[in-house]
Structure 1
Amino acid sequence: DLELQLRRRGIDTIVLCGIATNIGVESTARNAWELGFNLVIVEDACSAANGEQHQGSMTHIFPRIARVRSTEEVLSAL
């Protein structure tokens, strides 16, 4: 139902942040990308069990499906 609600409102870009960068954030990002949404991942507003897991997603996965930005960059773009 979330996809339908977003599309009805003309929303095509999703800004993501959260806990478990390499699990929850990454799976949500992959699903949103598969549905055709534009994505912005807020790097310093995500966390993982350790830096290696966080950095793996930020370096290898997210740049292929999203724009990775800092909180400051996102806020200044609003």
Structure 2
Amino acid sequence: MQLRRRGIDTIVLCGISTSHWRGYYSKRGYQLGYHQIFVEDAMTASTNEEHDYVCKYIFPRIGRIRSTEEVTLSLR
């Protein structure tokens, strides 16, 4: 509710474990209709394969995947 009042419609997620992508924020953000950006190189998983799988098959269903550089450049 606080985000909506401020006109925020996009959430940038980083510093999370890709293996726990069903975490509260990404799941809840999706359910509430927020645009989500997952900063792929600012998160990790137990294995590279797990990270790659989630980034290739899961995140694209609920948001956009971007690099740290892309996110930083878009804020300028």
Shift of 1:42: 0.3
Matches within 5 A, 1:13-32: 13-23=10-20, 25-27=21-23, 28-32=25-29
Q: Which residue does the alignment assign to 1:58? A: 55
In structure 2, distance between residues paired with 1:39 and 1:49: 23
Q: Which residue does the alignment assign to 1:11? A: 8
The normalised TM-score by structure 1 is 0.86
Runs ≥4 residues deviating over 2 A = 25-28
In structure 2, distance between residues paired with 1:15 and 1:26: 15
Q: Deviations for 1:2-59, whole angstroms, at most 9, x for unmatched residues?
A: xx11111110000001232121x44221221111000110000011111111111101
- Residue number among 28, 37, 48 corresponding to 1:40 in the alignment: 37
Gaps of 5+ in 1: none
Amino acid at match of 1:12: D
In structure 2, distance between residues paired with 1:22 and 1:37: 21
Q: Which residue does the alignment assign to 1:69? A: 66
Aligned length: 74
